[in-house]
Every structure is written in structure tokens, then in C-alpha cells.
Chains A and B, each alone.
Chain A
């Protein structure tokens, strides 16, 4: 890598490759969109909470819920047990609400500020298809060429439909394919809309998986969450397309606190994708989301994340603090929740997507790839709480640490007294690239039932020199060889991702490891 940085190019290397590499060296989503925005006054008081709630036209019960959370949050201490270090966060120095000034919903494509459209286009999000944008007559009927990302679906590859909800700073700016989804009975809209249009559903499920005072960051989120996505799939419906949300933090000093709630009713299925980016800024930005999943009898939810928040520069300056609470509740029998995550961004990550396996024979899965480079820190993992009989869970975690980064897998597998016939398999492998990084594994296993079969394996190693040598002998350069081996190392997880996400994830793996060898 040092060679390309100095633009000393070896003979025979294609110019396009050089440019590609140069592009990859920087965080390409690091642009800032210059649009006017409407913000709540800086800082966090009860008035901020009231301001957000009023802006959202929320019913009284929602405001009461937020205020209760805020009152509890003030009494709580920020957790310190994670293996991450960052300067103390001044919660009064953030904006807790920011919306593009022209409002959050548009009558026609012409009303959407061109800067936002350009922004999403840069992100490769299909919003630029004007007909698909919400509010435009007939959008739902348009056959979707959903994603136009250059890396996705070349010639001859069938493109899948993906419905998108885009969240810009604090508000949802556009939801696509709404009509087509409505036909199937699927509700897919921003959570603010859902609170207005489907209060009975929101009221029934929100906070039922992550209680108000679950933890410091979740409580903060409950008080100040500004937007997010709501999905409800009615009984027996297989959601006709993949649902997707893109989150973007644009404004400086703005926290993003989104709330996602997905409910899969009896016998339904939904696959949901989440992507995140942010501009490059020197100061740290805060992202504290809450995601709640509820799977009823025989339902299945597949939740995939490609998290590419700005990780800070090479010296660890700037970047997103990603403190997220994600939890799924397999509430009834034979339900299934599967988390797949590719974590490449954020300066500091604190995230444990979990499954509460309450229903008998329910299944929880967690597939994770976490890559840290430069000065990134990640403390991530999962919790599998086995309450029901014959519940099974599988955890596959692949951690790759490079540069000066530190990475921790922290996971809990807990089997309750009455949970007969539980099975868990956990595998966490760590790969170290370079001798200045750290990889840690902290699994917790609590078994209270003798019929449980729990297996846990973990290994830590570095890239095999033999394998590298073999690849390089076959004509790959060192970066390519590393990328190939890393892809092989992550294969178990990449296979779980929806096809187009998998391509994106593989590209991200390459970008994230740029400069880590040589």
C-alpha cells in the first residue's frame, strides 16, 4: 500500500487499478451535503424531548413514554464495562433533532431538495428513480430496478426488488414501493408515520423487547428518538421484496437516534437490510439506535446490516460512536430470528444484537463479521437467552483486527431452568493482521438445565504465511491475497447475506483492510 500512496506504480499495473485503489483508500461516503436544516436547540433537557415530540405531532402517550425514559436516563450512569476507550461524551453538546428544512415528506420528486437526491445517488441508493419516490402517482406499480450500485448485478444478473426507507439525520425522507407493499398488506413506513397511522400496533409492540430503562443508551434513545422504520407483516404473508433502510448522519454535532420496530405476525417472513453512512468530520458523532424485532408463531425475520459509519481518520480523529441496542424476541413457537452483520465502520462500536428465545422450538442466529483498522474499537457480540423448550441458537463470529485497532467479541448464551433440549453452537474466530492490534474473546455461558448441549469454540491466529505465499505465487499481489484469504475466513457469514449485500460486504472488506499490509 505504501507504494500506491507515493504513486510509485510498478510496471504492468493498470492505471484503473491505481485509481481504484486510491479511491478505496479514503472513505468514499465522507461527503457533506449542504442543505439547510431545522434543528432543535443544542443540548438535552425535558424541553428537547417535548420539542421532538411536538415536531412529530405525537400523541400524548408517546410523549409520556419519552418523558418517563428521560427522567430515568438522568439517573443512569454510562456503562464502562466494554473494552473500548473514548473521551467522555458531553451529551449537552449535541443536536438531538435535525431535519432537512423543506420538511420530511414531499408531494412530488420536484420538492425533494436536489442535494439530498444527489447525496443518496452517491450512496448508490435507488432513490434517484423519480417514479419510485413516494408521493408520485403510480410509484408502487413501477417494476423496480432497485439498486443501481455499480458493484451489484452486472450483465445477466437478475436484480431484486428492494423497498427503501431513507433516514437523513433525524427524519425519514423517502419510502419507496409503498403501494406495492400495501397490496400484500405489509406496512413499511417511518416510525413517525406509524405512530400517527397505526398507533394501536406501535403501542402494542414498542418497548416490549427493549424496555424503557434497559440500558443507558437505549433509555436515551427512547427519550429522544427522532425517526426510524416500522414494519408489520400480517399473518401468513411472505413479504414480496426485501425491505431496506439507509441511515445517514449529515449535520455536524448531531446525534442520530433511530428506532426500528419490526413485527412479523404468525407464519410471515420478512428480510430486512440496513445500511449506514456518515460524512467525514473531525468531531465524533453519536449514533444510539434501538432495534426491536418481534416474531410471532412460525414467523421468521432476517435482519442484515452493513454498517459503514465513518470510522475516523488514520490517526483515530473523528468518526461515529455507534452505541446500539438490537434485540429480537422469538415470542411464540417455531419462530426464527436471524441477525447478520458486517461491521466495518464507526470509531467505537458497542453493539450486541440478541435473541430472546421465548417460544418453544424457536431459533436464533447471529452471523457477524467485524473488521477494525487504524484506531477503531469494537466491542460486539450477541446474547442468546433460551427460555423455551427445544430452542436452538447458532453464533458465528469472525473478527478481523488490523492497524492499531482493538476488537472484542462479547457474548452470552444463557439457558434457563425450564428450557429443556436447548442446543447452542458458538464459534468465534479472530484474525490479527499486524502486530499492533488486539483481538479479544469474552464469552459468557450460563447453563441451568442438564439437557442443554452447549458448544463453544474460539481461535485466534494471524494470516497464514504459507497461504499468502501460495496466493502470491499464483500472481496475486499481497493486498489481493489478503483480501482473498479474509474472504475465505468470512465465508460462513457472507453466505448468509442477501446476494447483493454480500457483494457490497466483500467490497467493504477490501476497503477496510486497505493499508493494513506491506
Chain B
């Protein structure tokens, strides 16, 4: 219990909405409240301060809109303010949808709250190779709050790709989502997260991935921020020879805030993690990057690398980074790098000499800087569409 904790109206209402009996998330919430800058892991992303006023539960419908990313033959699930409002009539072979049961508590409480408050935990189970991409569209609007909980299970040797788009229109809504990924032996999943929301929205999207031996988890993120947005991914290597790629880019303008937090645990020998985040900050944008590698005593032969590079385009922008290593095994290769700086003036000068306008030259440099984070995406079509989103953002800046 935190001494002298003054609960906000939002916290009081949220606590009141939790079941009085048997709610573990509710018990934790009434003890500690929402995470704030006094919590080490949230020091740069103060959810408590961003959500002070009381919020009602959102209505379970939204106006229809075109997807942020159009995919080729997607298996599309649409969550309207947390409610699964559309699912394909028939699922392809190798994919099933069910509702899940109990889960162990997370160390973070927001995903625990999401699990309890979501209308259900939907479980997607994949066996064999799924050719079409799964597209989870999380649509939000209005000024209420809503929660989602989805689990994706890949059976032994299964292969799939999934896109989660966090889309939202006007409104000061709060969306709190939790994703669980379980990859059995030799399974392979390519995950892409796209985030674009209104200035007033607050979003927390948390994911936990458990990787069995030889599993392959590849993640890409493209985020544009909101009033406050946190995209957190925790990965646990539980079987030898598992591999995780965590890449991402963020482009923030206005007063938008985006926090990319990752926490990777190596508990067994011989696993690999590669991580690369690229951030571009304009106006009063604020980017946060927190990365942590934990290598347990038994996790010998771990190879883990992390890099975060931020580009500040404005003197009012801010970037905060904490790339952290916790190493208990001696025969490992672990490294992290972090840089922050402005665009290279010499490169700009060179390009302007060659006849490009300043805006064009800046756009090209920024694009070249960001695109590195998408090098792992195998689908050229998807990659090209991501580039269009980045170009649109750049055009809006100039």
C-alpha cells in the first residue's frame, strides 16, 4: 500500500467497477492505484496523471472506417470499443476461435485489469501453416474506456502472421488491451503492430510472448502516438534455440507521446534476441524507449543485442531512453547502443546541392533512417504500405 495515496476520480470509478469479491486485479488496484511516474517502470509514462476524470464504459459500437492497413485476404476480427463485433463467417483450416479461462497474474496490473474487464479472452489457435494474415482491428471512439484480451496459440511447427491495428477516431477514450502469445516448439509468428490514434486518447497495449524451443517470434511496430500511449512487449525464451526479433519505429508530432517498452527474459541457453527501435520526434513529441534484457544464470550462449536511435527534428521534442541489461550468465554476448541527435547537416547540404528542396531532403533522410527498422518484414507489399504511412506523416510535417 502506498502511503498517502490520493485516488483520482478515474481510479475510484475503476476500483468501484471491479468485482468486490475475488478480483485480484481489483485488490492490487485498490492498493497501489494506476502506475505513475513514481513507479520506476512508468517514470516517463504517467498513466495516472493522464487519466484523472471519471470514465464510463464505452458503448459497444463504432462508426465503420477503412482499415489503416489493407492486407491481402485478411482473416479480419473487428473489436469495436472492446467488443468483438465482426469475425469471419468461416475460419480457414488450421485456425480456431474459442474463449479462454484463467491466467496467471502479470507483474503489471493494467493487463490484469484488461483480462478481468474484457468481455472475454478470445483464443486463436493455429496449427500448420496459415497462409492468410490474421488482422485484429481494435477500433476506438467516444470518451469511455474499454478493455480487450486476446490469446494466440501456435501449436508445434505452426506458422502464422498477425497484424494488430490500434485505430481510433475522435475522443478522449481509454483503451487497455492485453495479448498473450504462446509459441510451441518450432512455431513461427510474424507480428505487426500499427498504432494511430487521436490526440486525446490514452492507450496501453501490452503483450506477453512465451517461446518454446526453436520458436521464432518476429515483431514490428509502427506507432504515431496519442495523448499517452504505451506499447509493451515482454518475451520469455523458455526453450533452447528460440529467437526473437523486436523492431519498431515511431514518428511523433504535435504533443503526442509514445512509449515502447520491451522486456526480454532469457532463462535457457542458446537463445537469440535482436532489437532495433528508431524514433523520429517533431514539434513537442515525446518518445520513450525502455528495453531490458534479463539473462539468467543458466542462459549461457545467449546472444542479445539492442539498439535505439532517436532523431530530434525540433527543439521542443523530447526523448527518454533506458536500455537496460541484467546479466547473470558469463558466456554470453550482450550489447546495447543508444543514440540521440539531429539530422546530419552535411548530408542535408549535400542533397540540397544536388537540387532537392530542404523538405524533400529532410524527408528522404528521415525515411532512410526509419526504414531500417522494417528490414525484417518479409512481405514486400506490407512493407510498401508501411512506407506510405510514413510518407504521409512526413508530408504532413512539411
* CB contact between B310 and one of A442, A443, A447, A449 (< 8 Å): that residue: A447
One of B169-177, B337-345, B387-395 contacting the partner: B337-345
Given contacts A435-B329, A441-B324, A446-B320, contact A460 B334 (CB under 8 A): yes
Residues B319 and A459 in contact, CB atoms below 8 Å apart:
no
How many angstroms from the CA of A417 to the CA of B286 in the assembled complex?
Answer: 13
Q: Which of B313, B319, B331, B340 has the most CB of A within 10 A?
A: B340
Number of chain B residues whose Cβ lies closer than 8 Å to a Cβ of chain A: 35
Residues B328 and A438 in contact, CB atoms below 8 Å apart:
yes
- Whole-angstrom distance from the CB of B6 to the nearest CB of chain A? 18
Query: Is A101 interfacial (CB 8 A cutoff)?
Result: no
Q: Mark A17-44, 1 if CB is under 8 A from B, else 0.
A: 0000000000000000000000000000
Residues A460 and B335 in contact, CB atoms below 8 Å apart:
yes
How many angstroms from the CA of A437 to the CA of B329 in the assembled complex?
Answer: 7
A442 contact set on B, CB distance < 8 A: 322, 324
Residues B337 and A456 in contact, CB atoms below 8 Å apart:
yes
Residues A459 and B327 in contact, CB atoms below 8 Å apart:
no
A460 contact set on B, CB distance < 8 A: 325, 327, 332-335
Query: Is B17 interfacial (CB 8 A cutoff)?
Result: no
Query: Is B93 interfacial (CB 8 A cutoff)?
Result: no
* CB contact between A435 and one of B297, B313, B337 (< 8 Å): that residue: B297
* CB contact between A454 and one of B314, B326, B336, B339 (< 8 Å): that residue: B339
Residues B322 and A445 in contact, CB atoms below 8 Å apart:
yes
Tell me the A429-455 residues at the B interface (CB within 8 Å).
Answer: 430, 432-455
How many angstroms from the CA of A378 to the CA of B313 in the assembled complex?
Answer: 38
* CB contact between A443 and one of B312, B328, B338 (< 8 Å): that residue: B338
B333 contact set on A, CB distance < 8 A: 460-461
Residues A445 and B320 in contact, CB atoms below 8 Å apart:
yes
Residues A434 and B330 in contact, CB atoms below 8 Å apart:
yes
How many angstroms from the CA of A445 to the CA of B315 in the assembled complex?
Answer: 16
Tell me the B106-126 residues at the A interface (CB within 8 Å).
Answer: none
B310 contact set on A, CB distance < 8 A: 447
Residues A458 and B331 in contact, CB atoms below 8 Å apart:
no
- Whole-angstrom distance from the CB of A317 to the nearest CB of chain B? 23
How many angstroms from the CA of A81 to the CA of B329 in the assembled complex?
Answer: 23
Residue ID in chain A nearest B43 by CB atoms:
A444
Number of chain A residues whose Cβ lies closer than 8 Å to a Cβ of chain B: 34
A446 contact set on B, CB distance < 8 A: 318-321
B328 contact set on A, CB distance < 8 A: 437-438
Tell me the B279-334 residues at the A interface (CB within 8 Å).
Answer: 297, 300, 310, 312-334
B329 contact set on A, CB distance < 8 A: 432, 435
A445 contact set on B, CB distance < 8 A: 319-322, 338, 340
* CB contact between A438 and one of B312, B326, B335 (< 8 Å): that residue: B326
How many angstroms from the CA of A440 to the CA of B324 in the assembled complex?
Answer: 7
Residues A450 and B314 in contact, CB atoms below 8 Å apart:
yes
Main secondary structure of the interface of A (DSSP, over half): strand
Residues B322 and A444 in contact, CB atoms below 8 Å apart:
yes
Residues B297 and A447 in contact, CB atoms below 8 Å apart:
no
Query: Is B40 interfacial (CB 8 A cutoff)?
Result: yes
A456 contact set on B, CB distance < 8 A: 323, 336-339
Residues A441 and B297 in contact, CB atoms below 8 Å apart:
no
Residues A458 and B320 in contact, CB atoms below 8 Å apart:
no
B326 contact set on A, CB distance < 8 A: 438, 440
Residues A455 and B322 in contact, CB atoms below 8 Å apart:
no
Residues A450 and B335 in contact, CB atoms below 8 Å apart:
no
* CB contact between B317 and one of A435, A450, A459 (< 8 Å): that residue: A450
Given contacts A450-B313, A450-B317, A454-B340, contact A437 B330 (CB under 8 A): yes
Residues A447 and B318 in contact, CB atoms below 8 Å apart:
yes
A434 contact set on B, CB distance < 8 A: 330
Tell me the B328-378 residues at the A interface (CB within 8 Å).
Answer: 328-342
How many angstroms from the CA of A346 to the CA of B292 in the assembled complex?
Answer: 28
Residues B341 and A454 in contact, CB atoms below 8 Å apart:
yes
A433 contact set on B, CB distance < 8 A: 330
How many angstroms from the CA of A441 to the CA of B324 in the assembled complex?
Answer: 5
- Whole-angstrom distance from the CB of B36 to the nearest CB of chain A? 15
Tell me the A48-68 residues at the B interface (CB within 8 Å).
Answer: none
Q: Mark A407-420, 1 if CB is under 8 A from B, else 0.
A: 00000000001000
How many angstroms from the CA of A438 to the CA of B338 in the assembled complex?
Answer: 22
Query: Is A78 interfacial (CB 8 A cutoff)?
Result: no
Tell me the A448-475 residues at the B interface (CB within 8 Å).
Answer: 448-462
Residues A457 and B335 in contact, CB atoms below 8 Å apart:
yes
Residues A462 and B313 in contact, CB atoms below 8 Å apart:
no
- Whole-angstrom distance from the CB of A426 to the nearest CB of chain B? 8
How many angstroms from the CA of A69 to the CA of B310 in the assembled complex?
Answer: 41
Residues A441 and B322 in contact, CB atoms below 8 Å apart:
no
Q: Which of B297, B319, B325, B339 has the most CB of A within 10 A?
A: B325
* CB contact between A436 and one of B297, B319, B327 (< 8 Å): that residue: B297
Residues B338 and A450 in contact, CB atoms below 8 Å apart:
no
How many angstroms from the CA of A432 to the CA of B334 in the assembled complex?
Answer: 12
Residues A443 and B340 in contact, CB atoms below 8 Å apart:
no
* CB contact between A447 and one of B312, B313, B324, B331 (< 8 Å): that residue: B312
How many angstroms from the CA of A459 to the CA of B322 in the assembled complex?
Answer: 15
Residues A451 and B327 in contact, CB atoms below 8 Å apart:
no
- Whole-angstrom distance from the CB of A298 to the nearest CB of chain B? 28
A430 contact set on B, CB distance < 8 A: 325, 327
Residues B335 and A459 in contact, CB atoms below 8 Å apart:
yes
B321 contact set on A, CB distance < 8 A: 443-446
A454 contact set on B, CB distance < 8 A: 338-341
- Whole-angstrom distance from the CB of B387 to the nearest CB of chain A? 24
A441 contact set on B, CB distance < 8 A: 323-325, 336
How many angstroms from the CA of A460 to the CA of B305 in the assembled complex?
Answer: 10
Q: Which of A81, A436, A439 has the most CB of B within 10 A?
A: A439
How many angstroms from the CA of A443 to the CA of B330 in the assembled complex?
Answer: 21
Residues A451 and B332 in contact, CB atoms below 8 Å apart:
no
* Other A-B pairs beyond A445-B320, A450-B313, A455-B337, 10, CB < 8 Å: A432-B327, A435-B330, A441-B336, A442-B322, A443-B321, A446-B318, A450-B312, A453-B342, A456-B336, A458-B336
User: Could you list some 5 contacts between A and B, CB below 8 A?
Assistant: A441-B323, A444-B322, A450-B317, A451-B315, A461-B332
**Interface residues, chain B, with chain A CB atoms under 8 Å away:** 40, 297, 300, 310, 312-342
Closest 3 CB pairs of A and B: A450-B312, A432-B330, A456-B338
